[in-house]
Amino acid sequence: MLADPTMWKMRSQCWPRVADRVLRGPSSIYKDSCRTRQLPDWLLRRRGKKPVRATRILSGSGPRVILYGEVLEDWIASDASQAAVKRVGYVPIWEPGSKGDFMNDTERYEFDRQGYIVIEDLLDPGTVSSLSKAVDELEAHALANLEKPPRKASPWGPDYHRNPERGYHVDGSNAEGRTVIIEDFWNADERFDVLVNDSRTMAYIGGIVQGRSTINNSEIRIRYRGNLSGLHGGMRPENQKYRYGFNANGIDCMMVRMVYFIHDVSRDHGAFCVVPGSHKTNLPCPYDGNPDEEPGVVALEVKAGDAILFTENLRHGGVTNRSDQVRKTIHVGYGPYWMLSQNQATMDELPYVTEATFARRDDDRRALFTPWHRPRGWTRSSKA
């Protein structure tokens, strides 16, 4: 079960210089070599044997402590010295379980070993049906507006159409062998909101992205007959932006993606493919990126409602769609709260969220689209 999905920030000078610590079991003391501090009784009663994570971070105004997964209102009310505590965002804490309660031990091992896992039946049939209709309608709208102004030049080269009516970016073509990519689809249809802060998805993300995570990528990929998606990812010595790591707190991903499937996909339909274990390679790949020919490529066949979770540092792509079925998938990317948009149209910019989209969301959903950001020219003295 999910502890209360609220994150609070407390200004404090007395907590030790540590990274993430996890308090578990009957222990009521937070310890390290510098400081021992008693947790309040009410927090211990509520926590029981559930994990509570405490993190100390540094900021321009001095040390701050974050407690994840518990409501601190009672503590604030009973202790005037904690009046500086205030709500700032959303970080869930989950208990171990299976299929959506948390990444269990087997899933965690396989994700670390291979760089991905397939999650069966992550979406129920009703959600699949609703999302499928939303994707079909958005595809038709995007194709009708693909070549129209206004335009948005991507830092990576492609020239996107930014739709002023529905707030998405689109690039590509529906010709044979081509693909259409629709980004920022959240703005276009509120039926996609079911994927924002979805408890089953966030259970997995919380186990592989350390600290507060945000959504940094949103793509609908529509692949027509004859299209393949070239392999990319894997070790890039010159660019560690999406690196995969492991430390005392477990798996530490800089970016992961959840791919949701709204129809069955076989190899002939252009299956998503991976090179298992390539997220841990140390040398540049010597192959040309053709997913139909590269050694070690595995095409992942899935059913409607399944999902694939993978680290962006894994070498991945899509084999050729040799069928008449148009392959449609929904991609949502996550990473640490300081990472900005990783959509191609808005690469390393603030997420593109329209006022209408922001207004219809609650605080927890808004926080997933609110990365930490310091404007150009920021200094500690400016307190920007």
The predicted model gives 108-129 an average pLDDT of 97
Tracing tokens 């392959």 back to the chain, one arrives at: 327
Sign, CA dihedral 43-46-50-55, equals: negative
Q: How crowded is the C-beta side of 211, counted as CA atoms within 13 Å?
A: 19
For 129-185, the pLDDT digits (tens) are: 999 999 999 999 999 999 999 999 998 889 999 999 999 999 999 999 999 999 999
Largest CA distance in the chain: 67
Residue 156: per-residue pLDDT: 84
Question: 105-367, superfamily in CATH?
Answer: q2cbj1_9rhob like domain (2.60.120.620)
pTM of the model: 0.75
C-alpha dihedral sign at 41, 43, 45, 51: negative
* Lookup result for tokens 């990126």: 289
How many angstroms separate the CA atoms of 88 and 2, rounded?
18
Domain boundaries, the chain: 7-89, 105-367
Burial (0-12, 13-18, 19+ Cβ within 10 Å), 148: exposed
Q: What is the DSSP letter of 186?
A: G
How many C-beta atoms lie closer than 10 Å to residue 372's C-beta?
12
Kindly indicate the confidence band of residue 74, based on its pLDDT and cuts at 50, 70 and 90.
Answer: very low
Q: If 0-12 CB within 10 Å is exposed, 13-18 middle and 19+ buried, where does residue 236 land?
A: middle
Residue ranges with strand state E in 85-127: 86-89, 116-119
**Residue of 81 and 181 predicted with greater confidence:** 181
